[in-house]
C-alpha cells in the first residue's frame, strides 16, 4: 500500500486546531497520541519528525479525533495510561488512574525504606492495579493481593502484572466489601496470614455529586469506582471496622481520601482502634493520603 512521507505537525495541524476550538488544552499531545494509536505503535511521535503513513491510517487517525471531539478522554480511546513508572492497560471497568494517587506510592516509600524487605500487601479496590503493581515494582521481594468487586478489572490487573513481569507475586481476589463476612473470606483465602500493609483508594465521591463532574469522568469512569454513597464515605465505614481481622498488629494502613474527608475518616478509624500518624498532601496541597497504625 502506498505510504506518504509527511511531517507529523503538517499532518496533525488542522486536527490540533479543531481540538483547541472545543477547549482541549492538551490538543497537540492528544493528536500525537492518537496518531501513534492509528499507526499501531507505542513510539512517542514528535511534531517535526517525518513518518510514513497510508491513507487508511490517516482516516483511522481522523476517526479517533472525532471520538476525542465527542468528549472521550484519550486514555479511554487508547485504553492505557502512564502511572508511576509504567504504562497501564485499562478497560471500561477500571478507573483511569489519577496522578494524585501517586501520593500514596510516595508515602509508602517513605514509611518502608528497605526496598528488599518482604512485605505482604493488600490493594483494596485495585482497579487497573496501578497502586499495587507500582509497589511490587519497587519492593522486589514483596507480594500483593489485588481485591476488587469487578471481575473485568481483575482481568486487566492480570494483563498488566504479566506485561510488567510481576504475575508471580500478584494474587487476584474477587470479593465485595459490602458482603458481611468479606474479611473472614479474605483471611481464609490468605491461609490465615495477615497483611503488613493495606493500600486503598476506595470510591469516595458522594452519589449526588457525580452528575456535576466533568463529562470525561462521569461518562467514562465506572460508576462503581466513583460512587462513595450518600456522603462519599460509605466504603471507609465498611472497610475500617474489619481492618483488625486482616492487617497485622504492627501493620500500616494507607488510605487515599477525597478533599476534606480527613476529619471523618480519622474519627471513624480512631473509633476502631486506629491512630493517624501522617496526613500527606498531593501536589495541589490537598490532604490526599492518611497513614494509620493500630493503637
Ligand atoms: C477509586 S477506584 C480505585 C482504583 C485503583 N486502585 C486506582 O487507584 O486507580 C475504586 C475501586 O474499588 C472497587 N470497588 C468499589 N466498590 C467495591 C466493593 N464494594 N468491593 C470491592 N471493590 C470495590 C472499584 O471496582 C474500583 O476498582
pTM of the shown model: 0.95
CATH number at residue 74: 1.10.8.10
Question: Of 132, 246, 136, 253, which is closest to residue 183 (Cα–Cα)?
Answer: 246
Q: How many domains does the chain have?
A: 2
Q: Looking at the structure, tell me whether residues 184 and 283 fall in a common domain.
A: yes
Same domain, 107 and 216: yes
* Residue 175 near residue 184 (C-beta atoms within 8 A): no
Q: pLDDT above 70 covers what percent of the chain?
A: 100
pLDDT per position as a tens digit, 171-215: 999 999 999 999 999 999 999 999 999 999 999 999 999 999 999
Which of 76, 86, 95, 240 most suits a substitution to test ligand 1, by most atoms within 8 Å of the C-beta?
Answer: 95
Q: Which among 45, 61, 78 is the end of a domain?
A: 78
Question: Are 238 and 110 part of one and the same domain?
Answer: yes
**Residue ID of nearest Cα to ligand 1 atom 12:** 125
75 lines ligand 1 (CB under 6 A): no
Give which of 174, 181, 164 is closest to 238, Cα–Cα: 181
d(CA 97, ligand 1 centre) in Å? 11
pLDDT at 114: 98
What pLDDT, on the 0 to 100 scale, is given for residue 24?
94
Please say which residue of 45, 78, 111 terminates a domain: 78
Q: Give yes or no: residues 115 and 22 share one domain.
A: no
Reported as a single tens digit per residue, the pLDDT across 43-97 is: 889 999 999 999 999 999 999 999 999 999 999 999 999 999 999 999 999 999 9
User: Does 125 contact ligand 1 (Cβ within 6 A)?
Assistant: yes
- Which of 84, 100, 127, 204 for mutating ligand 1's site (highest number of atoms within 8 Å of CB)? 127
Distance of alpha carbon 57 from the chain centroid: 30
For residues 146 and 236, state if they share a domain.
Answer: yes
3-state secondary structure the chain: CCCEEEEHHHHHHHHHHHHHHCCCCCHHHHHHHHHHHHCCCCCCCCCCCEEEECHHHHHHHHHHHHHHHCCCCHHHHHCEEEECCEEEECCCCCCCCCHHHHHHHHHHHHHCCCCCCCCEEEEECCCCCHHHHHHHHHCCCCEEEEEECCHHHHHHHHHHHHHCCCHHHEEEEECCCCCCCHHHHHHHHCCCCCEEEEEECCCCECHHHHCCCCHHHHCCCCHHHHECCCCCCHHHHHHHHHHHHHEEEEEEEEEECCCCCHHHHHHHHHHCCEEEEEEEECCCCCEEEEEEEEC
Please give the average per-residue pLDDT across 233-243, as a whole number. 98
CA end-to-end span of the chain, whole Å?
A: 69
Ligand 1 lined by 132 (C-beta under 6 Å): no
Kindly state whether residues 121 and 253 are assigned to the same domain: yes
Task: Give the nearest ligand 1 atom to 93 CA.
Answer: 25
- Ligand 1 atom 11: residue of nearest CA: 125
Ligand 1 near 127 CB (within 6 A): yes
- CB of 153 within 6 A of ligand 1: the answer is yes
Range of the domain at 22: 4-78
- Distance from the CA of 96 to the center of ligand 1, in angstroms? 11
Q: Specify whether 248 is located in the same domain as 272.
A: yes
Same domain, yes or no: 43 and 108: no
Give the pLDDT confidence score for residue 44 in this predicted structure: 87
**Residue 114 sits in a domain of what CATH number?**
3.40.50.150
What CA–CA distance (Å, rounded) separates 238 from 288? 20
- Is the pLDDT assigned to residue 1 strictly greater than 80? no
Q: What is the pLDDT of residues 14-39, one digit of tens each?
A: 999 999 999 999 999 999 999 999 99
Asked whether residue 129 carries a pLDDT value surpassing 90, the answer given is: yes
Question: Are 167 and 109 part of one and the same domain?
Answer: yes
Which pLDDT score, from 0 to 100, does residue 158 have?
A: 98
Show which of 30, 51, 78 is a domain's final residue.
78
- Give the chain's mean pLDDT: 97
Higher pLDDT, 295 or 201: 201
Ligand 1 atom closest to residue 101's alpha carbon, by position in its atom list: 8
Task: Say yes or no: 191 and 141 in one domain.
Answer: yes
Whether 110 and 214 map to the same domain: the answer is: yes
Same domain, yes or no: 16 and 63: yes
Cβ-proximal residues to 60 (8 Å cutoff; 6+ apart), any chain: 38
Q: Return the best residue to mutate from 182, 183, 224 for the ligand 1 pocket (most ligand atoms within 8 A of CB).
A: 224
Q: Is the CB of 130 under 6 A from ligand 1?
A: yes
Please report, rounded to a whole number, the percentage of residues in the chain having pLDDT higher than 90.
Answer: 97
Q: Is 95 a pocket residue for ligand 1 (Cβ < 6 Å)?
A: yes
Angle at 269 between CA 187 and CA 174, to 5 degrees: 30
Amino acid at each position: 500500500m502506498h505510504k506518504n512521507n509527511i511531517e507529523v505537525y503538517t499532518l496533525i495541524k488542522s486536527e490540533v486546531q479543531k481540538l483547541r476550538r472545543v477547549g482541549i488544552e492538551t490538543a497537540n499531545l492528544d493528536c500525537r497520541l492518537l496518531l501513534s494509536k492509528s499507526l499501531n505503535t507505542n513510539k512517542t511521535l514528535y511534531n517535526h519528525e517525518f513518518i510514513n503513513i497510508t491513507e487508511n491510517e490517516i482516516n483511522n487517525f481522523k476517526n479517533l479525533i472525532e471520538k476525542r471531539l465527542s468528549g472521550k478522554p484519550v486514555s479511554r480511546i487508547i485504553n492505557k495510561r502512564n502511572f508511576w513508572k509504567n504504562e497501564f492497560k485499562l478497560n471500561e471497568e477500571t478507573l483511569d488512574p489519577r496522578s494524585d494517587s501517586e501520593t500514596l506510592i510516595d508515602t509508602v516509600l517513605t514509611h518502608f525504606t528497605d526496598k528488599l524487605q518482604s512485605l505482604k500487601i493488600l490493594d483494596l479496590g485495585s482497579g487497573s492495579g496501578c497502586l499495587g503493581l507500582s509497589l511490587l515494582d519497587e519492593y522486589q521481594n514483596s507480594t500483593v493481593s489485588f481485591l476488587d468487586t469487578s471481575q473485568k478489572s481483575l482481568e486487566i490487573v492480570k494483563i498488566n502484572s504479566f506485561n510488567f513481569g510481576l504475575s508471580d507475586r500478584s494474587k487476584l481476589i474477587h470479593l465485595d466489601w459490602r458482603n458481611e463476612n468479606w474479611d473472614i473470606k479474605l483471611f481464609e483465602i490468605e491461609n490465615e496470614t495477615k497483611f503488613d500493609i493495606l493500600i486503598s483508594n476506595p470510591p469516595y465521591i458522594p452519589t449526588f455529586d457525580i452528575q456535576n463532574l466533568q463529562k470525561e469522568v462521569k461518562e467514562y469512569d465506572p460508576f462503581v469506582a466513583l460512587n462513595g454513597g450518600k456522603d462519599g464515605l460509605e466504603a471507609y465505614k465498611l472497610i475500617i471496622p474489619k481492618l483488625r481481622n486482616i492487617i497485622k498488629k504492627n501493620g500500616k494502613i494507607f488510605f487515599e481520601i477525597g478533599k476534606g474527608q480527613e476529619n471523618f475518616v480519622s474519627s471513624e478509624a480512631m473509633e476502631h482502634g486506629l491512630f493517624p500518624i501522617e496526613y500527606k498532601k498531593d501536589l495541589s496541597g490537598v490532604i490526599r493520603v492518611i497513614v494509620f497504625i493500630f493503637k
